[in-house]
Structure 1
Amino acid sequence: MTGAESVRSPCVSVCALDECDVCIGCQRTVDEIMHWSRMSNEERLEVLRKVAGREQQVAL
Protein backbone atom coordinates (compact mmCIF):
# COMPACT_ATOMS: atom_id res chain seq x y z
CA MET A 1 0.00 0.00 0.00
CA THR A 2 1.38 3.40 -0.90
CA GLY A 3 1.18 6.41 1.37
CA ALA A 4 -1.60 7.87 -0.79
CA GLU A 5 -3.92 4.90 -0.25
CA SER A 6 -6.32 4.93 2.67
CA VAL A 7 -7.66 1.97 4.57
CA ARG A 8 -11.24 1.60 3.36
CA SER A 9 -14.21 1.75 5.66
CA PRO A 10 -15.83 -1.57 6.55
CA CYS A 11 -19.28 -0.01 6.08
CA VAL A 12 -21.74 -2.31 4.29
CA SER A 13 -24.67 0.16 4.34
CA VAL A 14 -26.56 -1.78 7.01
CA CYS A 15 -26.62 0.94 9.62
CA ALA A 16 -28.28 -0.04 12.88
CA LEU A 17 -26.91 -0.12 16.40
CA ASP A 18 -27.26 -2.99 18.82
CA GLU A 19 -27.81 -2.59 22.57
CA CYS A 20 -24.06 -1.91 23.04
CA ASP A 21 -24.01 0.88 20.40
CA VAL A 22 -22.13 -1.29 17.90
CA CYS A 23 -23.28 -1.22 14.28
CA ILE A 24 -24.74 -4.58 13.27
CA GLY A 25 -23.50 -4.04 9.70
CA CYS A 26 -19.83 -3.13 10.12
CA GLN A 27 -19.27 -3.99 13.81
CA ARG A 28 -17.80 -0.55 14.60
CA THR A 29 -18.74 1.46 17.66
CA VAL A 30 -20.40 4.85 17.31
CA ASP A 31 -17.11 6.55 18.25
CA GLU A 32 -15.17 4.53 15.68
CA ILE A 33 -17.67 5.46 12.97
CA MET A 34 -17.65 9.16 13.92
CA HIS A 35 -13.85 9.42 14.00
CA TRP A 36 -13.05 7.19 10.99
CA SER A 37 -12.46 10.07 8.55
CA ARG A 38 -9.89 11.65 10.89
CA MET A 39 -8.03 8.42 11.76
CA SER A 40 -4.61 7.53 10.44
CA ASN A 41 -4.24 4.29 8.50
CA GLU A 42 -2.64 2.73 11.59
CA GLU A 43 -5.66 3.70 13.70
CA ARG A 44 -8.01 2.36 11.05
CA LEU A 45 -6.15 -0.95 10.95
CA GLU A 46 -6.49 -1.21 14.73
CA VAL A 47 -10.24 -0.63 14.43
CA LEU A 48 -10.42 -3.35 11.76
CA ARG A 49 -8.64 -5.76 14.15
CA LYS A 50 -11.26 -4.95 16.80
CA VAL A 51 -14.02 -5.40 14.22
CA ALA A 52 -12.68 -8.86 13.37
CA GLY A 53 -12.82 -9.82 17.04
CA ARG A 54 -16.37 -8.54 17.37
CA GLU A 55 -17.41 -10.48 14.28
CA GLN A 56 -16.03 -13.67 15.84
CA GLN A 57 -18.02 -13.00 19.02
CA VAL A 58 -21.23 -12.49 17.03
CA ALA A 59 -20.62 -15.73 15.13
CA LEU A 60 -20.53 -17.71 18.39
Structure 2
Amino acid sequence: MARIKSPCRNICSFDQPSQTCLDCHRKIDEIARWGTMSHMERQKILKDLPRRRKEAARN
Protein backbone atom coordinates (compact mmCIF):
# COMPACT_ATOMS: atom_id res chain seq x y z
CA MET A 1 0.00 0.00 0.00
CA ALA A 2 1.38 3.41 -0.98
CA ARG A 3 2.13 5.77 1.87
CA ILE A 4 -0.14 8.82 2.02
CA LYS A 5 1.88 12.00 1.65
CA SER A 6 1.46 14.98 3.91
CA PRO A 7 -0.72 17.82 2.57
CA CYS A 8 1.88 20.28 3.91
CA ARG A 9 3.17 22.84 1.39
CA ASN A 10 5.63 24.44 3.84
CA ILE A 11 3.52 27.58 4.15
CA CYS A 12 2.79 27.14 7.83
CA SER A 13 0.83 29.80 9.64
CA PHE A 14 -1.21 28.88 12.70
CA ASP A 15 -4.48 30.12 14.08
CA GLN A 16 -3.64 30.15 17.77
CA PRO A 17 -7.14 29.65 19.25
CA SER A 18 -7.85 26.54 17.14
CA GLN A 19 -4.21 25.37 16.90
CA THR A 20 -4.81 24.78 13.16
CA CYS A 21 -2.54 25.51 10.21
CA LEU A 22 -4.18 28.11 7.98
CA ASP A 23 -2.70 26.47 4.87
CA CYS A 24 -3.15 22.69 5.23
CA HIS A 25 -5.92 22.93 7.87
CA ARG A 26 -4.45 20.22 10.08
CA LYS A 27 -4.21 20.67 13.83
CA ILE A 28 -0.79 20.96 15.41
CA ASP A 29 -1.07 17.51 17.01
CA GLU A 30 -2.00 15.97 13.64
CA ILE A 31 1.03 17.57 12.02
CA ALA A 32 3.30 16.34 14.80
CA ARG A 33 1.94 12.78 14.65
CA TRP A 34 1.70 12.50 10.83
CA GLY A 35 4.86 10.41 10.53
CA THR A 36 3.59 7.78 12.94
CA MET A 37 -0.09 7.72 11.94
CA SER A 38 -1.67 4.72 10.32
CA HIS A 39 -2.89 4.79 6.74
CA MET A 40 -6.49 4.93 8.00
CA GLU A 41 -5.80 7.86 10.32
CA ARG A 42 -4.23 9.81 7.46
CA GLN A 43 -7.14 9.01 5.15
CA LYS A 44 -9.62 10.21 7.77
CA ILE A 45 -7.82 13.54 8.14
CA LEU A 46 -7.47 14.06 4.38
CA LYS A 47 -11.16 13.28 3.89
CA ASP A 48 -12.07 15.94 6.48
CA LEU A 49 -9.83 18.71 5.04
CA PRO A 50 -12.41 20.05 2.51
CA ARG A 51 -14.89 20.58 5.36
CA ARG A 52 -12.23 22.31 7.43
CA ARG A 53 -11.34 24.62 4.51
CA LYS A 54 -14.99 25.59 4.02
CA GLU A 55 -15.41 26.24 7.72
CA ALA A 56 -12.25 28.37 7.83
CA ALA A 57 -13.43 30.38 4.81
CA ARG A 58 -16.68 31.24 6.62
CA ASN A 59 -14.82 32.57 9.68
Shorter chain as normaliser: what TM range? 0.7 to 0.9
Q: How many residues align?
A: 57
- How far has the Cα of 1:58 moved from its partner? 2.0
- How far has the Cα of 1:40 moved from its partner? 1.1
Match of 1:34 in 2: 32
Alignment pair present for 1:6 and 2:15: no
| Bigger fraction of residues in strand | 2
TM-score where L is the length of structure 2? 0.85
Gaps of 5+ in 2: none
Over 3 Å off, 4+ runs = none
Gaps of 5+ in 1: none
TM-score where L is the length of structure 1? 0.84
Instruction: State percent identity of aligned pairs.
Output: 33
RMSD: 1.1
Partner SS state of residue 31, structure 2? helix
